[in-house]
Amino acid sequence: MLQKWILPPSPAETERLERAERMVRTAISSHPAFAGLDVSVGAKGSYANNTNVRYDSDVDIKVQLNDPYVHAYGPALNFWAWRLRNDYCGPWTPGHLRDELALALKAAFGDIDASRNVAFYVPEVAGSRPSIDVVPCFAFRQYRNADCTQWDEGSIVYTRDGGKIVNWPAQQLDNGRDKNRRTNRRYKFAVRALKAVENDLTRLGHLDALPSYFMECLIYNVPDQVLVSDSLDAAFRSSLVHLRKDVHAFWGNWRAMWEPNEMKKVFQDGQKWKIQDARDLLEAAWHYLNYGIA
């Protein structure tokens, strides 16, 4: 079963995913309001990071305005926050970006859902392309020093309810590739396997659905030596053993877990999940796979 779960999308699925990305790019390049602007369009999430699961693949696409960009000091430099101002007075406010993106997507796809808090939802066309989540965002710089000469590049999303979400897609991509190489591709195999298990558990009613990125975060915190030990099946079982130990102690290692981008802690305020979600998922996965006594 594990061999089936670790497979990436088939070539036919991959073509449908790529077609969806091309269609969003065309929608943006064809929209007059975006002409001449520095706008980047690209995949994000599991599709971009090659951790998506066969038969369960949609596409997350970011549409990022790179000028103006938003900037801030890193958490360790909050004392200097008074020195920075995001005082852009031009037309490209978060609301204007969202409005123009909605027009571009409606012109290209017709039926879209613009009511969601973060992304625009473009429904699937069976046999042609999967569903698409299109996220409007701005370039974001987080400074590492008070003089603002060193920074990390990310993206910032302004949600419809007034919230802000900072993502680090380039760091996630680079770190995931490095870990996958160090573990002889076991890292992404294990991520797909845990995602597939969570899909089954959700389908059977044993769990509420969790963001697929959550499974990627958990496996990223499994040490490389665990992922490369013994056979693939044994390594996946050992990964669950390791994670179950980390998430159960009150003062356990879960407090020190990093997202794959290594810019944010897995369990911190503002996340879409809680530590109990990890405990429930790992316990349910353990019993679903009949792994017995750890």
Whether 242 shows a pLDDT value over 80: the answer reads yes
Joined tokens for residue 267: 């369990």
- Asked whether 154 and 144 are in contact (CB, 8 A), the reply is no
Q: Which residues of 57-76 are buried (b: 16+ CB within 10 A; e: fewer)?
A: bbbbbbbbbeebbbbbbeee
| pTM of this structure | 0.87
* Terminal Cα-to-Cα distance of the chain (whole angstroms): 20
Residue 167: in which H helix or E strand, if any? strand 164-167
Domain segments of the chain as ranges: 2-167, 172-288
- Asked whether 258 and 264 are in contact (CB, 8 A), the reply is yes
The Cα–Cα gap between 271 and 238 comes to: 26
Looking from the CA of 193 toward its CB, the CA atoms found within 13 Å total: 26
Chain-wide mean pLDDT for the chain? 89
Digit-coded pLDDT (tens) for 21-64: 899 999 999 999 999 999 999 887 655 555 555 555 678 899 99
Give CA angle at 118 (112, 124), nearest 5°.
Answer: 35
Q: Which of 185, 188, 195, 24 is nearest to 101 (CA)?
A: 24
Q: Quick one: pLDDT at residue 289?
A: 92
Q: Which of 25, 157, 161 is nearest to 97 (CA)?
A: 157
Digit-coded pLDDT (tens) for 95-119: 999 999 999 999 999 989 999 999 9
Mean of the pLDDT values across residues 63-85?
86
- 189: which residues sit within 8 A by CB, 6+ positions away? 6, 232, 236
3-class SS of residue 142: strand
Q: Quick one: pLDDT at residue 122?
A: 94
Q: How many C-beta neighbours within 10 Å does residue 189 have?
A: 24
Instruction: Kindly state the greatest CA–CA separation across the chain.
Output: 61
How many residues are listed for the chain in this entry? 294
Q: How many C-beta neighbours within 10 Å does residue 42 have?
A: 14
Joined tokens for residue 200: 């089954």
Q: Tell me the CATH class for 2-167.
A: alpha beta
